[in-house]
Amino acid sequence: MRNSPCPGRRRTYLVAAGMSALAAGALTQQHVRAAMPFGSEPVAQDRVIALAQPLSNDRWTLIVLEQREPAPPCWRRNANGSVFTYEMHLPESICGRYLSGSSYSLRAGGQDLRQPWRLRVDHSNGQLQLLASDGKQAEPIVIGSGQAAGSALVELRLQNNWAFERRTFDGQTLSHLYVAHSNPLPVLLAEARNGGGIPTLLARLPAPPPPLAPEPRRSLSAPADRRTKARAAAVGATTTSRAIQTADQPVASSSSSRPARLEALRAGGPRSLGQGAESPELSPGQTDGVIALQVVPYNP
């Protein structure tokens, strides 16, 4: 008979198998969490400011400040467009500082724009522009603009419905900020190629088709209606024919009366009553429909 394994060794095997299962479950959960996309939520736009900071060799960089507490203020706007900041003298709990691409990024149509997309500040003839580019597009996307004021910090005002949003993940709010737009990236690229306006294909939407006219209701007595119309047409044709025949016949004199017609018969006048002297004689055996009686006195 074979000896059974040692109970202590069996417990060791069970503990090792349990640890392996827990480790595999933890790795699977991490992969699932990593595959989940980031979300975002809006922030108060008056509490976030985008600044262009001058560097050497006419280079500029982007700095974003956030007023996290109502007071004291993190910045002050000057009349010439420059901005004076106090973030170096305030803690992060009051004035949040976002100084590089690791603390702010781009988002379009609910999707993160990862590398090679980046934010950069371009300077030309005193005008500053905040651009989004990936190095492959001929026309970068214009996000904000401002005017240089010497070597001071300058505010870059966002345009074209760009706004700041905060990154979220799995229901938690993160400190990372987005410069976000609701339109997807292809629409933004088309607008950039069109000079910043709405693309022609998107602006000229086809007109909706006109509504269909309701079909006429068919009567249940359609055959009867057709027969009625046919009878009316036949009666009209008969009436027209009779009217033509009457128009071709001479009209009897309105001065004729019954005593006059009787006198004409006694005098041997024409047999056709109601006609003038020019009326043609009736042929033998033909009658005009009027029967005249002559009284002959009886002489015994």
283 with 293: CB under 8 angstroms?
Answer: no
Q: What is the pLDDT at residue 48? A: 98
Within 84-218, where are the H helices?
185-193, 200-203
Assign 247 to helix, strand or coil.
Answer: helix
Q: What is the pLDDT at residue 123? A: 95
| pTM for the whole structure | 0.56
The amino acid at 236? G
Q: Average pLDDT of 34-57?
A: 90
Q: Are strands 153-155 and 75-77 parallel, antiparallel or unpaired?
A: unpaired
173 with 100: CB under 8 angstroms?
Answer: no
Q: What is the pLDDT at residue 33? A: 46
Q: Average pLDDT of 268-281?
A: 48
Backbone angles phi, psi at 231, to 5 degrees: -65, -40
Window from 135-139, 176-180, 195-199 with minimum mean pLDDT: 195-199
151 with 84: CB under 8 angstroms?
Answer: no
Q: What is the pLDDT at residue 225? A: 61
In whole angstroms, give the CA distance from residue 166 to residue 40.
5
Of residues 113 and 14, the one with the higher pLDDT is: 113
Window from 43-57, 122-136, 230-244 with minimum mean pLDDT: 230-244
In whole angstroms, give the CA distance from residue 252 to residue 275.
6
Say if residue 104's pLDDT is above 60: yes
pLDDT tier at 67, thresholds 50, 70, 90: very high
265 with 290: CB under 8 angstroms?
Answer: no
Assign 107 to helix, strand or coil.
Answer: strand
Q: What is the pLDDT at residue 54? A: 95
What are the tens digits of pLDDT across the range 75-97? 999 998 899 999 899 999 999 99
Q: Average pLDDT of 189-193?
A: 91
Say if residue 199's pLDDT is above 80: no
Say if residue 275's pLDDT is above 50: no
In this structure, what DSSP letter does residue 286 have? -
Mean pLDDT value across the chain: 76
**What is the percent of the chain with per-residue pLDDT over 90, rounded to a whole number?**
45
Say if residue 216's pLDDT is above 80: no
Of residues 123 and 204, the one with the higher pLDDT is: 123
Q: What is the pLDDT at residue 262? A: 66
What are the tens digits of pLDDT across the range 111-156? 999 889 999 999 999 999 999 999 887 789 999 999 999 999 999 9
Helices then strands, counting H and E runs in the chain, come out as 5, 15
Greatest CA separation for the chain: 177
